[in-house]
């Protein structure tokens, strides 16, 4: 009987098997981590046609979110300001700044400014801004410290699991409704966030939906 395989063949075989198993495990791990919004979305900061700085407008000038996102308290959608809104100031201030030329073009042509969308809930999920704002979820909770962002970036995963985390224990994020728009709100010195949160949950009977009905229709 001829010798076809070297002595080491058995060992080799075992190694191959081991490597295959490892590879599969590794692959799975990679997919688990890198294919989730946590990785794919957070940090997304596309270049906008106009380098609008929230840091400048909100942080430094202290403008209210409502000045531009006018409907956020009433409508499911937090509208992006119309060109009109920009022009209402920028006809005087920096009226000729080259950076603002796209806005001025849009104003004259009637064509909209092609802003790039940053924050986006998963497909087929219906999110209601008005409701969250009015029940005391701060802008910052989902959008991050926009007031400190020169260029706005995707701060949180906005994945279903991420939404559920907050819906399961809202006290971790709730604040008094009137503070919702306050980007730099901190819980009062004598209280922790969860204390404030728990109190609000108590008093407003806040019971965030955790079933599909709330978001999927």
Query: For another protein, which stretch binds (CB under 8 A), given 18-26, 92-100, 115-123, 139-147?
Result: 115-123
Query: Chain centroid to CA 34: how far?
Result: 18
Q: Give the CA angle between residues 37, 209, 160 to the nearest 5°.
A: 10
Is 140 exposed, middle or buried (CB count within 10 Å of its CB: 0-12, 13-18, 19+)?
A: buried
Is 89 among the residues that bind another protein (CB under 8 A)?
no
Is 75 among the residues that bind another protein (CB under 8 A)?
yes
**The one among 110, 188, 189, 190 contacting another protein by CB under 8 A:** 110
Is 84 among the residues that bind another protein (CB under 8 A)?
yes
Which residues are CB-contacts of 119 (< 8 A; sequence separation ≥ 6)?
142, 143, 154, 158
Whole-Å CA distances, 79 to 72, 73, 83: 7, 10, 12
- Give residues 27-56 in contact with another protein (rule: CB under 8 A): 32, 34-38, 40-41, 44, 46
- Residues 164-183: x/- map of binding to another protein (CB under 8 A)? x------------x------
What is the token pair recorded at 100?
């603002």
Q: Which of 60, 54, 56, 55 is nearest to 81 (CA)?
A: 54
Binding interface with another protein (CB under 8 A): 1-2, 4-5, 9-10, 13, 32, 34-38, 40-41, 44, 46, 71, 74-77, 79-85, 106-107, 110-117, 120, 122-124, 126, 128, 130-131, 134-135, 157, 159-161, 164, 177, 203-205, 207, 211-214, 216-217
């Amino acid at each position: 009987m001829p010798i076809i395989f070297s002595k080491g063949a058995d060992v080799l075989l075992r190694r191959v098997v081991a490597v295959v198993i490892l590879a599969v495990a590794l692959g799975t791990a990679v997919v688990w981590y890198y294919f989730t919004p946590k990785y794919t979305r957070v940090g997304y900061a596309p270049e906008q046609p106009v380098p609008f700085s929230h840091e400048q407008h909100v942080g430094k000038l202290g403008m209210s979110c409502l000045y531009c996102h006018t409907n956020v308290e009433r409508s499911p959608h937090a509208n992006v300001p119309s060109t009109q809104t920009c022009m209402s100031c920028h006809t005087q201030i920096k009226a000729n700044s080259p950076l603002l030329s796209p806005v001025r073009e849009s104003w004259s042509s009637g064509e909209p400014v092609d802003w790039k969308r940053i924050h986006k809930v998963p497909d087929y999920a219906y999110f209601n801004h008005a409701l969250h704002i009015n029940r005391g979820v701060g802008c910052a909770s989902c959008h991050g410290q926009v007031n400190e962002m020169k260029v706005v970036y995707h701060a949180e995963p906005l994945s279903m699991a991420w939404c559920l985390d907050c819906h399961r224990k809202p006290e971790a994020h709730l604040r008094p409704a009137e503070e919702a728009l306050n980007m730099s709100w901190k819980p009062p010195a004598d209280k922790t966030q969860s204390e404030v949160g728990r109190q609000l949950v108590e008093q407003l009977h806040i019971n965030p939906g955790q079933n599909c009905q709330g978001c999927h229709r």
